[in-house]
Amino acid sequence: MKFSYCKTCLFPNTKPDIYFNKDGICDSCLSAQKKHGFLKSINWDKRKKEFEKIIKLTKTQSKSSYNCIVPVSGGKDSTWQTYAMKEIQNMKPLAVTFDQFDQTEQGKYNLDVLKSIGVDHIHFTINPKIVKNLVKKGFEIVGDPYWINHVGMFTVPFHFACKFKISLIIYGENPIFEYGGPEKDKNNFILDKKWRQQFGGMRGMREEDVLGDKINSDDLRMLTFPSKEEIKKNKVQAIFYGHFFKWEPKEHTEFVKKLGWKLLQRPQEGSWSKAENIDMQFIDIRERIKFLKYGYGRATDQLNIAIRAKQIKREEALKIASEIDGKVKEENVRDFCNYLNISETHYQGIVDSFVNHELFLKDNNGNWRLKFDRK
């Protein structure tokens, strides 16, 4: 395998669904150049008018006390989305949270910032025994303890939309546009079951794949999409806000800080940003596995956004990523093992099973090292 990096950001060609042009520039960077107007720019005025038509139609047809749902985690972006829909778009949003199994105290604090916005809020929690079982399956089968969260953050809002007859669900950025993926999906602004299956963090594992071992279909009712008939009956559609308006995470951060939202004092292990993954204690474990699979981790994701927005030079970002990508906090490993009732030996065996041996080899100290210099 020929291993290479994007010429303008830090993404390697091992990232799933990434495409490089003839000049060695990845599709995420090309999208950003369009977004920021460095290439042929996106017609944001036209997209804004398209969004206004959707909002007008939704308000006219609404038969509920609410006319949209905003899925919220308590992060900077979903907090800002909630404010934007209520105060800028003059909508009546219902905030819906799928419970984070490892939510930190600061994550809980930031989620409470919703109170200052003044919206109704549903915080939905699945049976903790089922959650623990699915966290374990996600970790062991696809290397992602947050598999259940990827599922629930998309299905649960659809269930409440059908229950309360709310026709519009507002998600944030389109990750295919922002982080890379098939060209034909970059301008898609609709999120549905098909999109979730392909791009929603399922890692190839479907809901039916986890049945058995004390999990039955009733346990997964809220983790599966409502039927096509139910969605059609209630005219529910989910769209990406970031398709219609330029997605600016740094601006979102500065705005929600004025509402009382707080940054981390220092980034999570393996991360660069103090403004992301604040609510997730074990995010470094997932990102460690991603690093060993693909040769990059969460710090690279975050630094790439800053590179594309001209907030940091690639050379400086490369130095930072090389130092912190894939790092994991030992205390988190112990807590994670205690949560799942597994040994650290079993944990390490699972992590090692996802290592891409074309990219990594063990050094004399038994640590996994990239075979290639990051450049």
Structure tokens at 273: 């940003």
Matching residue, tokens 């291993």: 3
Domains of the chain: 27-40+263-370 (no CATH), 44-244 (3.40.50)
Cα–Cα nearest to 74, from 120, 118, 123: 123
Question: What is the reported pTM?
Answer: 0.94
Rounded Cα gap, residues 287 and 248, in angstroms:
23
Provide the pLDDT for residue 1. Answer: 61
Structure tokens at 49: 């008018």
pLDDT per residue of the chain (375 residues) written in tens, 0 to 9: 678 999 999 999 999 889 999 999 999 999 999 888 776 678 999 999 999 999 999 999 888 899 999 999 999 999 999 999 999 999 999 999 999 999 999 999 999 999 999 999 999 999 999 999 999 999 999 999 999 999 999 999 999 999 999 999 999 999 988 888 888 888 899 999 888 888 887 777 888 888 887 899 999 999 999 999 999 999 999 999 999 999 999 999 999 999 999 999 999 999 999 999 999 999 999 999 999 999 999 999 999 999 998 999 999 999 999 999 999 999 999 999 999 999 999 999 999 999 999 999 999 998 999 998 888
CB atoms within 10 A of CB 209: 12
In angstroms, what CA-CA distances link 85 with 10, 67, 162, 258, 262? 34, 10, 20, 17, 21
> Burial, 242: exposed, middle or buried (Cβ in 10 Å; 0-12, 13-18, 19+)?
buried
Q: For strand 68-71 and strand 93-98, is the pairing parallel, antiparallel, or unpaired? A: parallel
Provide the pLDDT for residue 196. Answer: 86
Rounded Cα gap, residues 253 and 86, in angstroms:
18
Provide the pLDDT for residue 328. Answer: 97
Contacts of 206 (CB under 8 A, 6+ apart): 197
